[in-house]
Amino acid sequence: MRMPDMSGWVHFAPLSGSLIVAIGAIALCTWYLWGALKLWRQQRRWNVARTISFVLGCAVMFAIATFGVNTEMTTSLAALMFVQITALVVVPPLLVVGSPGHLLLRTTPHHGLGRVVLRVAHAGLRSPMMRFLTHPAMPIAFALIVYPGLYFTDAISPIIGSRVGADLLLIGLLVIGIVSAVPLWSADPLPRPPSYPIRLIDILVELQIHAIMGLILLRAASPMFSRYTGPDALAEQSIAGTLLWTYAELPLLIVLIVALSRWHDRDRSHARINESREDAELDEYNAYLASIARKN
């Protein structure tokens, strides 16, 4: 089995890539840095780590839109899988951890056009659509759509066959990834915050979807997709399966560890609060007994 040439992945080719995604990444990064600098100039606190996370997410989004890996995903299944995984599980957590919604609320003026923006943001946060999108079942549904739904039906072949289709696919993957990441990574208030057991179920199911999809690609004895049938098709499928087994699993394992840590910290905090309350009740009861003893 001959290994495909992947040296073209790292060539900077913005004019042949997804320009709309690249422009969106630049616009998001510019707005975020403007907001952070505005808070710092006003001597208001804003976390530097959040800023680094968001800027890094924008940089990775810009890279998968302008480097050769984007151009080659129309002819290389391995390149397509790399871009898809990056858009779904690498870029979204970096953006969500940056808390852009919180920054928007803190930097938008409360008069004029800013007042309208804040009203729209609050209405969107409380809308039925947002409650639907943040439902705990949505990350699993999205994972089923973008992996079995696209690949087992070979719907990916006609979509990726044109530049417009590839751009729309990348935009859709980024949107799906962000919507799926918000319940798992966001520290901001949500209309339907998932419980920690539900988060763990979501993560474990997504891990299994990646593992099964990767195993199928690795074990396939013939090309599975009409778009990718060249002499390197089997090698491309093996690389794509390996990426699903490794690259796609790492961010989910990280969020699994983070969720377990937050769950543990929350339980310890609740235990301390309950212990303090019980101690206060015991002190009150002892004082009551002492008052009775003094009366007698």
Q: Which DSSP letter does residue 9 get?
A: G
The residue length of the chain stands at 296
- Residue 289 to residues 78, 275, 277, 279, 282: CA-CA distances in angstroms? 75, 21, 18, 15, 11
pLDDT of residue 176: 92
Burial, 143: exposed, middle or buried (Cβ in 10 Å; 0-12, 13-18, 19+)? buried
Smallest Cα–Cα separation from 207: which of 224, 189, 184? Answer: 184
DSSP per residue, 255-290: HHHHHHHHHHHHHHHHHHHHHHHHHHHHHHHHHHHH
- Give the ranges where the chain is alpha helix by DSSP (H): 19-41, 48-66, 68-72, 77-85, 91-97, 100-107, 113-125, 128-133, 138-144, 156-160, 163-185, 196-219, 233-245, 249-295
Angle at 94 between CA 88 and CA 97, to 5 degrees: 120
Nearest one of 151, 150, 170 to 17, comparing CA atoms: 170
Phi then psi dihedrals of residue 12, to 5 deg = -80, 115
DSSP-derived 3-state class of residue 106:
helix
pLDDT at 127: 75
What pLDDT score was predicted for residue 175? 93
* Single-letter amino acid code for the residue at 79: A
Domain boundaries, the chain: 7-295
Output the tens digit of pLDDT for each of the chain's 296 residues: 566 667 778 888 888 889 999 999 999 999 999 999 999 999 899 999 999 999 999 999 999 999 999 998 888 899 999 999 999 999 999 999 898 988 888 888 877 777 787 787 777 777 787 777 777 778 888 888 888 888 888 899 999 988 899 999 999 999 999 988 888 777 776 767 777 787 788 888 888 888 888 899 888 888 888 888 877 888 889 999 999 888 888 888 888 887 777 777 766 776 666 666 665 666 676 666 667 767 66
Q: What pLDDT does 9 receive?
A: 84
Largest CA distance in the chain: 98
pLDDT score at 52: 95
